[in-house]
Homo-oligomer: A and B are copies of this chain.
Amino acid sequence: MRILVANANTTEAITRLCADAARAAASPGVEIVPGTPRFGPAVISSGLENAIAAHGILDLLAEHAGQVDAVVLAVSLDTALEAARQLMPCPVVGMTEAACFAACMLGNRFGLVTFGGTESYRRLIDSHGLTSRCAGLVGVDFTPQRTLVDPEGAVRAVGEGIARLVAGGADAVVLGGAALAGMEPALREASPVPLLDGITCGVRMAEALARMKPARTRQGPLAPVRDRESLGLSPALSALLRGA
C-alpha cells in the first residue's frame, strides 16, 4: 500500500518532518510517498493563504492520481479536503479530521490545543460537523520557533493547555498543527486524557479506509467531473477536469 503524505505548504522541510512521522505510524509494508506543492504559500498561517494553497495541493494530488492507495493531507487546516475527495480515485483523509474523529471514538467530547489563534480550528471543526463534540479549544502562547530553544517550556505550556481543556469537559485532546506533532510522547504521561496526533491518526485512518477498498462515489456533488475545460492549469490537473 502506498500513501501520499501531501503537504499544502511549499516548505520542503515540513514535508520531510511529516513524512518521517507518517513512516513511524504506518503499518509494516506501507510505503509513505511525500509530496510538496509546486507553488503557493511557504507556511499557511491565515485563511487567505489557505484559500490560495487549495490550488497548489490539488495540483500536487493530480500528479499522483491512480498511483497511490490513499492520501493524507499533512496540513493542519485539512486544506481542500472535499475537493481532493472529488479529484482522487482513492480515499483522502485530513490530519485534523482524522484526529478529531479518533478522539470522538475515545470519549464524548474532545478538546484541541495548538499554538496561537484557534479561530481557524473552530471553523474547521464546525465544517466537519463536530461542534457539538468539541468541549473547547486552547491557543497556547508559544511559537514553533521558541519550541526549538525551549522545548521543555513548550511541553509545559501545552500541558497546561491540556489541563484547561480537561477541566472544561474534554475526554480526549487533539494536538493541532505540525508544531505539536512530535510532542505527544513528552506530554503523554502527565496528561489525564488520551492525546491525538494528526499525522498518526491520518495514517491509521487512511490505512483503515484503503483496506476496505471503498467504491468511488459516482453520483452527486463528489462524483468525478468530466469534459470540463480550463485555462492555464497543469496538464495533470486539466486532464482530470476533462475526465481523461
Q: Which A residues have a C-beta under 8 Å from some C-beta of B?
A: 10, 27, 37-43, 45-52, 54-56, 58, 80, 82-83, 85-87, 91, 93, 97-98, 101-102, 104-108, 117, 119-120, 123, 128-133, 166, 169-172, 188, 191-196, 200-201, 204-205, 207-209, 211-212, 214-223, 225, 228-233, 237, 241
A108: chain B residues at CB < 8 Å are 82, 123, 221-222
* Known contacts A108-B222, A229-B41; is-contact A204 B211 (Cβ 8 Å): yes
**Do residues B102 and A209 form an inter-chain contact, with CB atoms below 8 A?**
yes
- Identity of the chain B residue whose Cβ is nearest the Cβ of A238 in the assembled complex: B41
Give the chain B neighbours of A39 by CB distance below 8 A: 230-233
Query: B42 near A222 (CB under 8 angstroms)?
Result: no
A51 contacts B55, CB within 8 Å?
Answer: yes
Additional A-B contacts beyond A38-B232, A200-B212 (4; CB < 8 A): A39-B230, A52-B237, A98-B105, A108-B123
Q: How far is the CA of A231 from the CA of B10 in the complex (A)?
A: 7
Chain B contacts for A55, CB-based, 8 A: 51-52, 54-56
* C-alpha spacing A69/B214, complex, angstroms: 26
* Chain B residues whose CB sits within 8 angstroms of the CB of A119 once the complex forms: 169, 220-221
Contact status B106-A214, CB under 8 Å: yes
A43 to B42: give the CA distance in the assembly, Å: 29
Number of copies: 6
Whole-angstrom CA separation of A218 from B191 in the bound complex: 9
Determine if B228 and A42 form an interchain contact, defined as CB atoms under 8 angstroms apart. yes
Contact A45 B228 (CB under 8 A): yes
A192→B218 contact, CB < 8 A: yes
A208 to B103, CA, bound (A): 12
A51-B58, A55-B54 as given contacts; A195 in contact with B209, CB under 8 Å: no
List B contacts of A117 (CB < 8 A). 221
* CB of A143 to closest CB in B, whole Å: 14
CB distance from A111 to the nearest CB of B (A): 10
Candidates B52, B98, B105, B228; contact of A97 at CB < 8 Å: B105
Partner of A201, one of B43, B196, B212, B241: B212
Bound complex: CA A194 to CA B51 (Å): 23
- Closest chain B residue, CB of each to CB of A118: B169
Chain B residues, CB < 8 A from A215:
188, 191, 193-195
With A54-B54, A132-B129, A212-B200 as contacts: A219 and B192 at CB distance below 8 Å = yes
